[in-house]
Structure formats: structure tokens, C-alpha cells
Structure 1
Amino acid sequence: MESDRYPTRRRLLQSAGLTAVTGILTECLDESTTDNDPGGSTDDGDYGEPETDGDDESAADGSNGVDEPGAEDETDGNNGPDADGSDGDAASDGNDTTDVEGETFELIDSETTIELRSLAQSWEGIASAKIEGVENSDFSLQEGETYTITWAENEIGMHNLEIYDDSESPVAGPTELISENETDLSVKFKASSDTVEYVCDPHYHVGMKGSIELE
């Protein structure tokens, strides 16, 4: 009887030990499964998905932040004539003028009195009003018309008055060479391609001259 009892106890102990080992192994397997399932820790199943409020950098209209081909800067489209019909060139103010290399010549009527005053090295306009107070004023004259330029006053120095052609030769005048204050000398001429400048001959090369342009 003794020999039959001990084998039974051994079997019980073996069975209990096997059960304990099996439990430990099962627990280890469960923990391993849990560790390998990172998505199981969230309640809503959205593990690893970034939150978004729907406002991406992309706009709701489907644009992706890149300008569409063909897009251009804003423009008013006015690269042609101005609204008033001008093409961008300087507009005329309605006066009879000739613009030559940036200088403006006002047309002088042939019946208008032209009077000059001689300064030390320049001419100054006295009349008409278009040239009053202007030094070495440029004249715009009507071609073929006859004009008279009167040297009315002399402020200082010795001068004369004459009309030059483009070779610096006199075609009208000269007046006497005088130094008196009251001169009252005149040069009469017909405006033509030969009448290019009115000058003081002794002071021509220091700039005592004015241009004559033709209309």
C-alpha cells in the first residue's frame, strides 16, 4: 500500500507543476500579444492618425498654393493710347509753337514789333510780350513774311545787330557799331532759309545771338 500511495502523490505534484507552468506561459503569451498591438490601446481605433480640422493649406476650391498656368498680374489693360486719345507724346496746348530739340519757339506775326535790349554779352527781349525779359530768345517766324527787329536800348558795351545765315555770314544789316544807351537801330529782312540767327558780331562767339526758326 505504501508503494502505491507515493506514486500517486508524485503524479499529483507533477500535474500541479505542469498546470502552473502552463499558466505562466499563457500569461506571457497574452502580454506579448498586447505589446505587439499598438493600435489596441485607443478606444476609437484611430491610433496614429493626425488630427485635422479640414483646413489644409489646400483651399476648398482645389487650389494647391501654386499659381495656375497662364495667371497674370493685374493690369488695367491700358498699354495703348491714353483715355483722352493721346499716344503718350506731349500734347499741344493750342498755341502756334515749333518744338526743336526741346526748345519752344512761339510764332511771331510779321506785323508784331520786335524790340531788343543789348546787355554786356547777350540780347534781352523788350517786345513783344512773348519775348519780354527773355535773354537770347529764339524766334519762330512765318517764312516769306517781312520782319523788322529794332535794337532799342544798350545797357553796356559796344554792339551791333545783324542777321546771319548758316555759314555765319550777314544777310541783313549790320547796324552801326555803337555804345550809346539810346540806339534805336533796326534791321529789316524777309524770313527765309537764309535767315538763321540774329547776332551781335563782336560778341557772337561769347553767345550774343538767338535762333530764327521758320513756320
Structure 2
Amino acid sequence: MATARRGKTKAEEGAAPAEPELRILKKYPNRRLYDTKTSSYITLADVKKMVLDGQAFEVRDAKTAEDLTRAILLQIILEEETGGVPMFTTQSLEQIIRFYGHAMQGVMGEYLEKNMQTFSEMQKKFVDQSPGLAFSPETWAKFMGTQSPMMQGLMGGMGGMGGYVEQGKNLLEQMTEQMQKAFPGMPGMPGFPPKK
């Protein structure tokens, strides 16, 4: 049975978009995860899919209601790192461990988070502006292979945090140039035209 469509009321038109519903997962002592939305037990693979789909969720201890979301996300990362192709080298993991307890721990976390956010935004813009190109893992590997020295330079030198924004801007400009070399005819990113 089809539902009749109605026009939006003025109140609905002026309303801000609804926040995505927070999905609550409960973790039981037997290590099982229970999705309160679907009233069913789920696996870490299901939680990983929620992350990939951008679904907002929290994992809470079924007895204490303690927030266990970070622990579950770390567990997913551990599974990804031990199976298949790891993202982190032994050296990069050692460097991350060295920052724990160091005065720069908080700064390093923020630095990594901003770089990941910048990279995600850059990737989305690249995909949005090049709808005709197929983005297989091999395509990204080819592109990122040209970026390795730049990425290492950006991630390797903490230097002064005052230059962070400038470093990020320079990185995006360099990456845009490299993308245009790897994929001729691709338009530049808004705000980051290729240097002439």
C-alpha cells in the first residue's frame, strides 16, 4: 500500500535537519554485543559496518552502563591490523606508544585527528569532483605512492604547531598537483588551484 506524499509545513521547512539517531549497543559479560535498535546480538563485523556507514552509536556495559565504545573500536582496529594488510608499520606503532605519558600526548592526538579529517575531506572532494573515475584500492595505491615523501614529511616533524594549518594547506596543494599529474583532466580542488 503506497503512502500519500504531502507537502512540508512551514515549521518543517524551517526546522534544522534531524540529528542521526544514536544507536545503543550493550556489551554483556559473555563478550557478546546486543543492538537495542534491532533487538538482536551482533558481531564486531556488524559494528565495523556501522562505522563504515557513518552510523552514530555507543557501546555500553550492560551492567554498569560504562561507555566501552573506544575499547570496541580499538578491538576492530586490532583485528584489521592482525588480519590482511596492516595500516601501521611496527615503527609507527612504536612512535605512537612513545607519546603516551609524554607532555605532547594530547597535542599528538589532536594532530593525528586533524590530519585524518583533512585526508578524509580531501578524498571526498576528489571522489565528488571525478565521478567518472573508478576508485579501486589500486587507484588509491597508485596515487598515494606518489604522496609518500610528503606524508612522511608532514607526519614526521611536529616542529611548531603554529605552522600546522600552513602545512595542511601546502600538503593539499601538493596532493592536488600530484592527482592532476596522475589523472590528467581532473579539476582542481576548490581553494587549491594547481600552481602554474
Please give the TM-score of this superposition, normalised by the length of structure 2.
0.21
Larger Rg: 1
Q: If each structure's helix is expressed as a fraction of its own residues, which one has the higher value?
A: 2
